[in-house]
Amino acid sequence: MIKLSKFLVFISLTFFGVSKSWAQGTLSDGSKWHWNKGTIVIETPQRPAGQQNALQLAAPKLNVVRVGFVGLGMRGMPAVERWTHIPGVQIVALCDYNKNNAEKCQDFLKKASMPNAAIYYGEKGYVDLCKRNDIDLVYIATDWLHHVPVAKCAMENGKHAAIEVPSAMNMKDIWELINLSERTRKHCMLLENCIYDWYEMNTLNMAQHGVFGEIVHASGAYRHCLSPYWDAYWKKDADDKLGWRLEYNMKHRGDVYATHGLGPVAQVLNIHRGDRMKTLVAMDTKSYTGKALVKERTGKDVDFRNGDFTTTLIRTENGKMIDINHDVMNPQPYSRMYQLVGSKGFANKYPNEGYALTSADLKSFGIKPSRENISNHDYLPEADKKALETKFYHPILKKYGEMAKEVGGHGGMDFVEDSRLVYCLQNGLPLDIDIYDLGEWCCLAELGALSMDNNSAPVEIPDFTRGFWHKQKGYTHAFASPEDEAEAERIAKEFTKGMKSGGEKFLRKYWKAEAQKTKRNKKR
Ligand SMILES: NC(=O)c1ccc[n+]([C@@H]2O[C@H](COP(=O)([O-])OP(=O)(O)OC[C@H]3O[C@@H](n4cnc5c(N)ncnc54)[C@H](O)[C@@H]3O)[C@@H](O)[C@H]2O)c1
């Protein structure tokens, strides 16, 4: 009987031409996809039993954030230096594949009068770092293939994880991190610094105050010719002629670096806070430059998977559109695009920063226009742009902007990011970027490849919150009450002062007293 029904299915698929609607494949996480009316639909893995969503996840306050860094190359080293400027931070451990890199970072600590950190190195050095019981946060700036193993090890050992962009490279990585963060209740933050740049922060504030009306279209990009860097990326050994980044691009299609462009606009569009990314379509060019780079280095003609230029179009549940570009191959001025098109106004960052609004719009926000007849068919005059930016200067920049300009890191945005992360941990608040942002901003890699490998077919994007994307109404940053904030700052500054003057001795005494306090509280 079973044999007969199988035969009938085969006959109907073959002779009635419906085989396409049955075709299906599997993604990196093992979830199946199938066709539905020309769209690729992906099964969303069920939330494991007993596990809650991690929306607005907040962890107990940490008076002092004890951090271990893993991956100390071009990006990781300056991060260590920046963190020496944040009050209430102790740098406990430094880890890199190369011992030298880790040891070099002790100089930053020495310069800041901070005690030496413990050094770990080698392929698995991070495992011992994660097992320490005196670390709260593991900050990961390795090559892309090590992001997830290190983050998993951190969370499994009771630590929060913060991972450089793009934190997860495929659906398997994404779901593993989501499940682990939901299960352990540990933060797993994608370190997207570009959401903290001045233009993006102020424009987000404007959007949240309705300056642009209903935003219907948003663009973002990572267009940055990496030719000066390809040979500077970490190489496994002498046989590695490409370095990790060129090799990854060679092997993978899709927007493998989408978060700088997508992150800032996803916040503006309230993704998984009232709207969600529903469908994507991706298209790329052939690889010309990428292929030539490999030929130069290896003499081989390879099938270079990543197109020189990739575009991903996304439609949201509420009918908005997002356009994300990726090109790290061709010479061009650096651009993250960042453009918002709204029913009342327009914002654009690259190549020319500006806003298009009328004089009447400015007046409605209490701004006196420089002249009466400003039209929204052109950019605002410079004086009006300045007045708009002053009016909507973001509170986070008011707090950290000045110091961030001094400490630096991509003009200061990196330090604003670091400071906000520490602020949220010290005050026990939800972070600015949650685990579902990580899923959404990183999924363009594998889902884009799936679209392109199927003639740029539409792909349904899973709801990474698994049913809660409309629970929160609008994107918000969390803030402590002024009293709690002042108290957290006082404790943080006092700790740093003590650590810088008293060194190891101070730390031993401080943590002994903290352990006793915890013991007493448990007994109560
Ligand atoms: N947010 C940004 O603006 C920005 C800018 C540059 C790079 N990045 C990201 O930062 C990360 C690092 O990039 P980079 O430019 O510093 O690359 P890099 O090649 O200079 O550094 C990678 C480092 O990882 C180390 N490493 C490799 N395997 C390791 C292991 N098992 N344990 C510990 N360390 C290991 C290498 O030794 C190397 O020092 C990447 O994810 C990249 O995308 C982000």
Please tell me if the CB atom of residue 417 comes closer than 6 angstroms to any atom of ligand 1.
no
Q: How far is the CA of 209 from the centre of ligand 1 (A)?
A: 37
Query: Of the residues 69, 74, 173, which should be mutated to test ligand 1's pocket, given the most ligand atoms within 8 Å of the CB?
Result: 74
Q: pLDDT digit of tens for each residue in the chain (524 aa)? A: 444 444 444 444 333 333 344 458 899 988 899 999 999 999 999 999 999 999 999 999 999 999 999 999 999 999 999 999 999 999 999 999 999 999 999 999 999 999 999 999 999 999 999 999 999 999 999 999 999 999 999 999 999 999 999 999 999 999 999 999 999 999 999 999 999 999 999 999 999 999 999 999 999 999 999 999 999 999 999 999 999 999 999 999 999 999 999 999 999 999 999 999 999 999 999 999 999 999 999 999 999 999 999 999 999 999 999 999 999 999 999 999 999 999 999 999 999 999 999 999 999 999 999 999 999 999 999 999 999 999 999 999 999 999 999 999 999 999 999 999 999 999 999 999 999 999 999 999 999 999 999 999 999 999 999 999 999 999 999 999 999 999 999 999 999 999 999 999 999 999 999 999 988 888 87
Q: What is the reported pLDDT for 21?
A: 40
pTM given for the model: 0.95
Query: Of the residues 81, 124, 127, 164, which should be mutated to test ligand 1's pocket, given the most ligand atoms within 8 Å of the CB?
Result: 164
Q: How far is the CA of 151 from the centre of ligand 1 (A)?
A: 14
Phi-psi region of 386 (alpha: psi -120 to 50; beta: other; left: phi over 0): alpha
Q: How far is the CA of 96 from the centre of ligand 1 (A)?
A: 9
Nearest residue (CA) to ligand 1, atom 37: 97
Instruction: Return the SS3 of 216.
Output: strand
pLDDT digits (tens, 9 = 90+) for 10-50: 444 333 333 344 458 899 988 899 999 999 999 999 999 99
For residue 179, what are its two tokens? 């499940």
Beta-strand relationship, 339-342 and 459-460: unpaired
For residue 313, what are its two tokens? 């179009």
Please tell me if the CB atom of residue 72 comes closer than 6 angstroms to any atom of ligand 1.
yes
pLDDT digits (tens, 9 = 90+) for 151-206: 999 999 999 999 999 999 999 999 999 999 999 999 999 999 999 999 999 999 99
Which runs of consecutive H residues, i.e. helices, occur in 16-64?
19-22
Please tell me if the CB atom of residue 336 comes closer than 6 angstroms to any atom of ligand 1.
no
Query: Of the residues 127, 130, 143, 223, which should be mutated to test ligand 1's pocket, given the most ligand atoms within 8 Å of the CB?
Result: 143
The dotted CATH code for 195-395+435-460 is 3.30.360.10
Task: State the Cα–Cα distance between residues 7 and 3, nearest whole angstrom.
Answer: 6
**Strand-pair partners of 139:** 69, 162
Task: State the Cα–Cα distance between residues 433 and 351, nearest whole angstrom.
Answer: 27
Please tell me if the CB atom of residue 74 comes closer than 6 angstroms to any atom of ligand 1.
yes
Please tell me if the CB atom of residue 167 comes closer than 6 angstroms to any atom of ligand 1.
no
Which atom of ligand 1 approaches the CA of 410 most closely? 3
